[in-house]
Amino acid sequence: MSTIDQSVVDQDYVRIFDTTLRDGEQSPGCSMSMPQKLTVARALCELGVDVIEAGFAAASPDDFAAVNAIAREVRGSRVAALARCTRNDIERAAAALEPAEQGRIHVFIATSDIHLAHKLRMSRAEALESAVAGIELARQYCSDIEFSAEDASRSDPAYLAEVFSAAIEAGATTLNVPDTVGYAVPGEYGALFAYLRQHVRGIERAILSCHCHDDLGMAVANSLAAVQNGARQVECTINGIGERAGNAALEEIVMALRTRANHYGVGTRINTQRLYPSSRTLISVTGSVVARNKAIVGENAFAHESGIHQHGMLRNRETYEIMSPEDVGVSRSQLVLGKHSGRAALADRLRELGFELQEAALNQAFAQFKALADKKKEVFDADLEAIALGSTGTE
Ligand code: KIV
Ligand code: ZN
């Protein structure tokens, strides 16, 4: 058995555990072939995620092959494989991870009474025993073991603390607290982390991790509440893809921690300029687009249409932007010319297009632009060029 990998626990920063290729792939319309998974894994590596969850090796021969190929190729990020607490799952995960530079076996079992009664048909004591046996078996193959208590947010906190204490004793160094069904709210989920930090024996030897689903639209808020209460690993996906309403969106968590560093006081090691390119890579692979108004990576995230906003932006970007587009890999902010836009934005765009109009010509161009904008959602450069050429300033 290899010795426990202490580097997993040391150092105070938020580890980004990306599960786009496992939980994300479980979202309808997002399944990926092996070459597509490799493309996404390469993007994740460039993004600098700490852990890439490559898949559930025992699920199918294709899943095994994908985890194995990613483990062989990826260097720099850890590669994790998911397994239930069964011998077959754990041995398949270990075999798939064999070529990894840094592998992690991620074992899980449910701990809520509802899952124990209806899904596992196990008592609490049996589930705890199964968790310990699974972790001990996984430790025979790997020095880095993560344990997840599925449906943790609906589990009895005292029982959860017992299971986690036993998990640490058995050799797990990351303890994940999934909000599997997206039921938690931030105050309550944060309080659960505070409780676990107080009641789990040996917690100083482990990292607490959050894993939030977005059924009530609170996955990111819940993850940030967990970080405020000591979570130092966040599990998330690019563009927030995942089961049902999805998982917490990686780009939103990373940029919230960075933009509000004064509030959270702890950051990630993500290369933020790769956020937008990674989002586009995933979209091109899955064909699953994001909403225009999606935070950070949506088409409108750095677009300004109203005249008042555009005027402010032209004076100083900080009037209406809390982060710069370049920081997330978007080339620049856009002043979209539509019916809400003002003269300053029009003059600015015309200047960019090579037209320096005098006062009277600009007035004429602005009147024509407004008339056109009333008919169209967006006025394009070709429209503007035609307007500028026809605006002489004389009636
Ligand atoms: O949502 C969940 O509980 C999971 C676990 C398997 C980590 O995805
Ligand atoms: Zn999940």
211 among annotated binding-site residues: yes
Tell the residue nearest (CA) to atom 5 of ligand 1: 150
* Ligand 1 contacts CB of residue 211 (under 6 A): yes
Tell the residue nearest (CA) to atom 1 of ligand 1: 180
pLDDT at residue number 1: 59
Question: Any idea what DSSP says for residue 103?
Answer: E
Ligand number with the minimum distance to the CA of 209 = 1
Atom of ligand 1 lying closest to residue 180 CA: 1
Percent of the chain with pLDDT over 90: 94
CA of 178 to the centre of ligand 1 (A): 6
CA of 5 to the centre of ligand 2 (A): 25
CA of 22 to the centre of ligand 2 (A): 9
In DSSP notation, 161-230 reads: HHHHHHHHHHT--EEEEEETTS---HHHHHHHHHHHHHHSTTGGGSEEEEEEB-TTS-HHHHHHHHHHTT
Confidence of residue 8 (pLDDT cuts 50, 70, 90): confident
Lowest mean pLDDT among 172-186, 190-204, 376-390: 376-390
pLDDT at residue number 393: 77
- Distance from chain centroid for Cα 352: 36
pLDDT at residue number 7: 72
CA of 151 to the centre of ligand 2 (A): 9
Q: What is the value of ipTM here, to two decimals?
A: 0.99
Which whole number is the average pLDDT over 270-282? 98
CA of 23 to the centre of ligand 2 (A): 6
Which whole number is the average pLDDT over 127-138? 98
pLDDT at residue number 392: 81
CA of 180 to the centre of ligand 1 (A): 6
How high is the mean pLDDT of the chain?
Answer: 96
- Integer Cα distance of 274 and 39 in angstroms: 14
* Per-residue pLDDT tens over the stretch 158-167: 999 999 999 9
* Ligand 1 contacts CB of residue 108 (under 6 A): yes
pLDDT at residue number 350: 97
Cβ pair 387, 368 in contact under 8 A: yes
> CA dist 29 to 24, 208, 286, 287, Å?
10, 31, 7, 8
Cβ pair 335, 368 in contact under 8 A: no
- Integer Cα distance of 246 and 220 in angstroms: 11
Tell the residue nearest (CA) to atom 2 of ligand 1: 180
> CA dist 12 to 3, 47, 150, 227, 266, Å?
22, 20, 25, 11, 7
Q: Which two tokens stand for residue 154?
A: 């609906």
How many other CB atoms are found less than 10 A from the CB of residue 87?
11
* Per-residue pLDDT tens over the stretch 243-274: 999 999 999 999 999 999 999 999 999 999 99
pLDDT at residue number 6: 73
* Ligand 1 contacts CB of residue 178 (under 6 A): yes
Q: Which two tokens stand for residue 294?
A: 């999606």
- pLDDT at residue 146 is higher than 90: yes
* Ligand 1 contacts CB of residue 150 (under 6 A): yes
- From 19, 105, 108, 183, give the residue whose CB has the most ligand 1 atoms within 8 Å, as the site to mutate: 108
* Ligand 1 contacts CB of residue 23 (under 6 A): yes
Percent of the chain with pLDDT over 70: 99
pLDDT at residue number 387: 97
What is the Rg, in whole angstroms, of the alpha carbon atoms belonging to the chain? Answer: 25
- What is the number of H-type helices and E-type strands within the chain? 15, 10
pLDDT at residue number 395: 59
23 among annotated binding-site residues: yes
- pLDDT at residue 314 is higher than 70: yes
247 among annotated binding-site residues: yes
- From 112, 145, 148, give the residue whose CB has the most ligand 1 atoms within 8 Å, as the site to mutate: 148
- pLDDT at residue 2 is higher than 80: no
- Give residue 305's identity as a one-letter amino acid code: E
* Per-residue pLDDT tens over the stretch 45-75: 999 999 999 999 999 999 999 999 999 999 9
* Per-residue pLDDT tens over the stretch 220-231: 999 999 999 999
